[in-house]
Amino acid sequence: MSNILEVKNLTMHYETIDGDVDAVKNVSFNVKAGESFGIVGESGCGKTSVAMSLLQLQAENGKISNGSILFDGLELVGMSENDLRKVRWDGISIVFQGAMNAWNPVVKIGEQIREAMREHSPESSKSQNTLKINELFTMVGLDSSVADRFPHELSGGMKQRAIIALALSCDPKLVIADEPTTALDVVIQDQILNEIKKVQELLGLSLIYISHDIAVIAEMTDKIAVMYAGSIVEIGPTEQVFKFPKHSYTRSLLDSTPSIRGEKKKLRSLEGEPPSLINKIDGCSFSPRCPTPTNGCKNQSIEMGLVKVGNDHYADKCCSECTSE
């Protein structure tokens, strides 16, 4: 299976009045066609910045200073705005965090989806679009009457389903979902995750799923990348990373997630907070909070980089050599 997306050494920073904030540092990963790729991390780790950079939708003061984004063979970094617009929604579409609240309140749902379709496939007729919308709605479990409703008439779950339909409306090959179910009830979340899985299988979609929720990532993805302070600290097949987490941060994340099943294991917690991304960080960015740092970790000049620790499984150099438990 070929890679639908190849990201190499992506580096992005925001220019603020306090200085440059290095939001994404040397991030590389590949997504195969039909694969579900997860990015997991906490607030400020850079996962949303990565998502935005993929479509060059970052804020005005965000600049990509290095790296390449190959989508289906097309280099996205440096592309003109016009060409990018064709790629957006057609090739890659995105479900933002809180997207369900971004519906225009004075326009009917169906009309808003039509707008997107008109923009990207102007040749298709109105009736063709209507047919498509109905298909999409069925796929996500919405009644076709929803197209005639206004956003405020729908529940949170329905709005989110409609957002997914919107994201699929132009037949993208890759969908980026940034915390699509965070604000929803767990029962609705379950239904929507189910829907997403079904749609993915049906359409052979590739999916990039971004979340801080370990449990959702565990269930939704084939491969994950764990991010901390702007870099990927561990990346590999989901089952592998969960069973044999190599990086100390990954282990902390897994150890701090309570579950309703299984024995009540001892849970660990981290102290402190993620480092400020304004100051240049030398060496391991996690070592100040690492529960088991070695002397080498605290060495600021240690060279960082991902090394292989298993089958298709990579982790930060220092943790892979770490012998403490």
Partner 1 sequence: MLTNAVRNVPVNNLIEVRNLVKHFEVSSGLFSRNKKVIKAVDGVDFDIKAGETLGLVGQSGCGKTTTARSLCLLDPKTSGTVKFFNPDSQKMDSIDELDDDGIRVFRRNMQMIFQDPYESLNPRWTIKDIIKEPLDIHNIGALNDREEAVVEILRTVGLTPPENYLSRYPHEISGGQRQRVSIARTLIMKPKFVICDEPTSMLDVSIRISIMDLMLNLAKDLDVSYLYITHDLAVARYMCNRIAVMFNGKIVEIADTEDLLQNPIHPYTKRLISSIPIPDPSYKRERYQINYDELDKIISKNPDKKMIDIGNEHFVATHDTKEYFIES
Partner 2 sequence: MNNLENEKEIAKSIRKAAILKNWKLFKQSRLGMVGLYIVAFFFILTILQPILFITGIWDEGTYHPVVGYVDQTQDFLIVECPKEFPTEKYEKRSDCPGRKEVNIKTLFYADGEVGETIQLNLQPAPPSRDHILGTDSLGRDVFSQIMEGSQVAFLLGILSATLGVGISTILGTIAAFFGGRIDAYLMRQSDLVLMLPTLPLLFIISAFAELKIWHLAVVLGTIGGLGGSVITIKSQALQVKVKPFVDSARITGGSQMKILFSHVLPNVAPLALLFMVFSVTGAIASESVLSFLGLLNIEMSWGLMIYLAQVEGYIFSGLKYWWLILPAGLSVTFLTGGFYLVGRGLDEVFNPRLRKR
By CB under 8 A, name the binding residues for partner 2.
14, 16-18, 59-61
Question: Are 206 and 31 within 8 A, CB to CB?
Answer: yes
Examine residue 145 and tell whether it contacts partner 1 (CB under 8 A).
no
Largest Cα–Cα distance of the chain, in whole Å? 67
Q: How far apart are CA 47 and CA 49, in angstroms?
A: 5
In our burial notation (b when 16+ CB lie closer than 10 A, e otherwise), range 34-68 reads: bbbbbbbbeebbbbbbbbbbbbbebeeebebeebe
Minimum Å gap between C-beta 63 and partner 2 is 13
Minimum Å gap between C-beta 98 and partner 2 is 16
Minimum Å gap between C-beta 141 and partner 1 is 11
Q: Which residue has the tokens 């997860």?
A: 38
Minimum Å gap between C-beta 18 and partner 2 is 8
Minimum Å gap between C-beta 314 and partner 1 is 18
Minimum Å gap between C-beta 214 and partner 1 is 4
Examine residue 180 and tell whether it contacts partner 1 (CB under 8 A).
no
Examine residue 232 and tell whether it contacts partner 1 (CB under 8 A).
no
* Contact partner at residue 157 from partner 2, partner 1, none, CB < 5 to 8 Å by partner kind: partner 1
CB-neighbour burial class of residue 191 (10 A; exposed 0-12, middle 13-18, buried 19+): middle
Handedness of CA 111, 116, 118, 121 (dihedral sign): negative
* Contact partner at residue 263 from partner 1, partner 2, none, CB < 5 to 8 Å by partner kind: none
Query: Which residue lies nearer to partner 1 by CB, 64 or 214?
Result: 214
Those residues whose C-beta lies under 8 Å from the C-beta of residue 60, and which sit 6 or more positions away, are none
Q: Which of residues 258-277 bind partner 1 (CB under 8 A)?
A: 258-262, 264, 266-271, 273-274
Give the type of residue at 83: D
Query: Which residue lies nearer to partner 2 by CB, 18 or 325?
Result: 18
Q: Which of residues 211-230 bind partner 1 (CB under 8 A)?
A: 212-216, 218-219
* Contact partner at residue 239 from partner 2, partner 1, none, CB < 5 to 8 Å by partner kind: partner 1
Those residues whose C-beta lies under 8 Å from the C-beta of residue 149, and which sit 6 or more positions away, are 108, 109
Q: How far apart are CA 292 and CA 306, in angstroms?
A: 19
Q: Strand, helix or coil at 210?
A: strand
Q: Could you list the residues that contact partner 1 (CB under 8 A)?
A: 42-43, 155, 157, 185-191, 193-194, 212-216, 218-219, 238-239, 242-243, 252-254, 256-262, 264, 266-271, 273-274
